[in-house]
Amino acid sequence: MSDKKLRFANQEQVRTLFGTNDRNLKRLREALQINVVLRGDELRITGEPEQVEAGSAMVTELQSIIERRGYLSDEDFDRVLLRGRNGGEASISDVEVFQGKAKRIYPMGAGQQKYVQAMRDNDLVFCTGPAGSGKTYLAVAMAVNALRHDLVRKIVLVRPAVEAGEKLGFLPGDMIEKVNPYLRPLLDAMQDILDVDTVARYLAKEVIEIAPLAFMRGRTLNETFIILDEAQNTTITQMKMLLTRMGQRSQIVVTGDPTQIDLPQHVPSGLTDAIRRLNRVDGIGCVELSGGDIVRHPLVRKIVDAYDERSQQQETPAHGAWPLAEPSRELDPLRPLERPRAVNWMDALAEIDDDLE
């Protein structure tokens, strides 16, 4: 066992650091499995030597944030906590995704950092991961950042209109009103990054466009940042159609969770099929986030882990869920036993035509 003592400048700094009812203090104990005792303005950390050093480094970093800014946001605390849980990997705080007047967005963990880097390095990126891991949010932040730096002229948000296990029936209104329930998560992320008035202005001027996947056929989108969300609910044909919409100086980010497929049974997912076909092609990035990247309520990570453990015990993944085992030729006629590396990703898409025929 080891112990270390840290002293704070004043009680206000202590209250800021550990939050209401010492909420952050409790989270620190749970994350690192250490004993943390606060006495006045002195903090004593006891536990295994490595954990004590990690906890001390985290507290020191949080103190420096408070001294620089005068406050500590929940996002700052979560970022430092995730980095400590991941063994201190990466200089995450310096990898900024978006800087607004009142909001700074950065990856909160090594997995999210890898995702952001993939979006910077590739024109086409696939990202899979559980709910709450930041797939959609970071894609929207990168899109807004590209728009503000004049790297693209518009943002197109796309989602398949597939219901999650229940039929909504006829929806009244124009096209935007009909697809709004399906695209709401994308708009929520957009409005969390930009203010409501800015989003409304961009929508009115069609700088931001929302569209169901079915309305994308026949279009060529130049200088556009395209986000396809909930891509696990696309078919193979739909996925190919969307990927071939990319025009000059455009970028596509495809996100989804292969464990939450709502397609009819025996209909293969276009997301898992595309990753399998394209993951080795130059210019395409494939990132898989994990439960450790979840940044919603702490219970979300526990819920996802519980469901994943139960699924592994009782179920065989449907729809070719990711990660994929090597299928036999009889079970997967779309994939030859051996396929040479494609020269570029458009050649790989052409191979889908051959398979579908």
Q: What is the total residue count of the chain?
A: 357
Angle at the Cα of 355 (from 337 to 126), degrees rounded to 5?
80
**pLDDT value at 286 more than 60:** yes
- Out of 177-181, 247-251, 292-296, least confident range: 177-181
What is the rounded CA–CA span in Å between residue 115 and residue 10?
39
- Is pTM beyond 0.85? Reply is no
Tokens of 242: 């969307």
Report d(CA 248, CA 223) in Å as an integer: 6
Mean pLDDT on 98-114: 72
331 vs 339: CA distance, rounded Å: 17
Q: Compute the average pLDDT of residues 63-71.
A: 75
CA 22 – CA 43 distance, rounded (Å):
13
Tens of pLDDT, residue by residue over 155-205, are 999 988 764 444 444 555 655 566 666 667 778 888 888 888 988 899 899
- Per-residue pLDDT band at 332 (split at 50, 70, 90): very low
Which pLDDT band holds residue 339 (cuts at 50, 70, 90)? Answer: very low
Q: For residues 238 and 95, which has the higher predicted lDDT (pLDDT)?
A: 238
Cβ count within 10 A of residue 210: 21
Burial class (CB in 10 A: 0-12, 13-18, 19+), 292: middle
For residue 174, the surrounding DSSP H or E stretch is none
Q: What is the reported pLDDT for 34?
A: 83
Top-confidence residue, 46 or 38: 46
Residue of 346, 162, 139, 132 whose CA lies nearest to 255: 139
